[in-house]
């Protein structure tokens, strides 16, 4: 009897314990959460040194395309490269001990036809190459008394220069050997402080977006003067925009660049950017600050350098952004042959190259740079 009672109690206890247990789960154990992945860019933009190995102060640079370019400098120097600056060959000068005057302000119409200015003050030598290698003096730049201001060659034989004395525009039809006035000193009647006056201007900068359409800009009496030709420089019309300049503007250089026959930009001496879309009749200020030269690789991407600061646009000049770089010397000139390649030069043989490289690329002296949009490597 006792044995049967014990057996009954054991059965009841086991049954109640089994009923209280939760059923086991047959789901697979959870995997640990995967770490989030950061997508690494394939490419980046950099500045890298491709310096000339002599203590020469470099004054100008022009690249006809990404690998082919020229650099000018003190002591009668013109350097040439065909590999993007990896190697430099002196075409003129290159010797820091030379007593020849400095060469600067390169202008090229293609990969073989170019000009450069040698000297300072009035009557500077105008140098020319027709094969991209050999240079000769073909004429002079400048007025009778002062210094020349700017020059531009829309084609191989036709060129223009602004002469500060007597503030006119002269044209050459023989690649720079002889020059003839085509636009007299600019002067217009305008109202100044309620009175009609004949106001003259000091022209500063030239640019031709096409062989037939060209511009010269200057200032006078707080106004911006724009001279425009539509017939290849035979005739020039003047338009005036009051209150866009200061009284001191005539003593400082302004810079002009047109991306089409009607769309262009002017950098004023007070470091503001002006834009026009109607051939210089009206101008609008753009948000941005620079006081250097202005160049566009194409209608959308443009640069302006001042000292160590690049001011650039990637949307056809609607907005501008600035970035300062730690170059070892101040930038004296730059060239922008394409939106993915640029060059700057400075003192002590400094040449830095802007280009797009794989993200893992590292080289000595490399400086990070902003990526221009739409590069084929991206």
Q: Give the residue ranges of DSSP H helices in the chain.
A: 2-20
pLDDT of residue 30: 53
- The pTM of the full predicted model, rounded to 2 decimals, is 0.86
Structure tokens at 350: 């400094």
Where is average pLDDT lowest: 14-28, 83-97, 116-130, 317-331? 14-28
Which domains, ranges and CATH numbers included, belong to the chain? Answer: 41-141+325-352 (no CATH), 185-289 (2.40.10)
In 3D space, the residue among 160, 54, 143 whose CA is nearest the CA of residue 107 turns out to be 160
pLDDT in tens, 80-101: 999 999 999 999 999 999 999 9
- Beta-ladder partners of 369: 45
Widest distance between CA atoms in the chain: 142
pLDDT of residue 188: 86
Where is average pLDDT lowest: 116-125, 161-170, 244-253, 296-305? 244-253
DSSP string over 217-241: EEEETTEEEEEEESSTTS--EEEEE
3-state secondary structure of 12: helix
pLDDT in tens, 265-282: 999 988 899 999 999 999
Where is average pLDDT lowest: 150-154, 182-186, 193-197, 282-286? 193-197
pLDDT in tens, 245-266: 887 777 778 999 999 999 999 9
Structure tokens at 245: 């300049």
DSSP state of 307: B
- Beta-ladder partners of 354: 47, 342
* pLDDT over 70 (residue 139): yes
């Amino acid at each position: 009897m006792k044995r049967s009672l014990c057996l009954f109690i054991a059965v009841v206890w086991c049954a109640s314990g089994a009923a209280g247990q939760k059923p086991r789960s047959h789901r697979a154990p959870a995997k640990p959460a995967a770490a989030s992945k950061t997508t690494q860019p394939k490419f980046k933009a950099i500045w890298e040194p491709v310096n000339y190995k002599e203590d020469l102060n470099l004054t100008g640079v022009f690249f006809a395309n990404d690998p082919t370019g020229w650099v000018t400098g003190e002591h009668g120097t013109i350097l040439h490269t065909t590999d993007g600056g990896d190697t430099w060959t002196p075409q003129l000068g290159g010797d820091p001990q030379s007593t020849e005057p400095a060469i600067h302000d390169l202008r090229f119409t293609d990969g073989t036809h170019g000009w450069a200015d040698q000297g300072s003050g009035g009557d500077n030598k105008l140098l020319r190459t027709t094969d991209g290698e050999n240079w000769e003096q073909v004429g002079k730049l400048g007025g009778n008394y002062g210094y020349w201001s700017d020059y531009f060659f829309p084609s191989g034989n036709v060129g223009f220069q602004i002469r500060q004395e007597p503030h006119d525009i002269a044209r050459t039809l023989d690649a720079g050997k002889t020059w003839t006035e085509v636009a007299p000193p600019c002067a217009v009647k305008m109202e100044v402080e309620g009175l009609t006056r004949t106001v003259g201007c000091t022209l500063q900068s030239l640019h031709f977006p096409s062989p037939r359409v060209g511009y010269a800009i200057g200032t006078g009496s707080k106004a911006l003067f724009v001279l425009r030709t539509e017939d290849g420089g035979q005739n020039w019309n003047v338009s005036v925009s009051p209150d866009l300049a200061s009284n001191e503007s005539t003593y400082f250089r302004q810079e002009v660049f047109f991306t089409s026959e009607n769309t262009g930009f002017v950098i004023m001496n007070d470091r503001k950017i002006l834009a026009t879309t109607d051939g210089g009749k009206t101008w609008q200020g753009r948000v941005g600050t620079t006081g250097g030269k202005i160049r566009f690789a194409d209608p959308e991407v443009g640069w302006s350098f001042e000292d160590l600061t690049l001011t650039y646009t990637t949307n056809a000049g609607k907005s501008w952004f600035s970035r300062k770089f730690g170059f070892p010397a101040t930038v004296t000139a730059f060239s922008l042959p394409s939106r993915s390649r640029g060059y700057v030069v400075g003192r002590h043989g400094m040449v830095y190259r802007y280009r797009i490289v794989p993200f893992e690329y590292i080289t000595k002296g490399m400086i990070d740079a902003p990526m221009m949009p739409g590069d084929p490597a991206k």
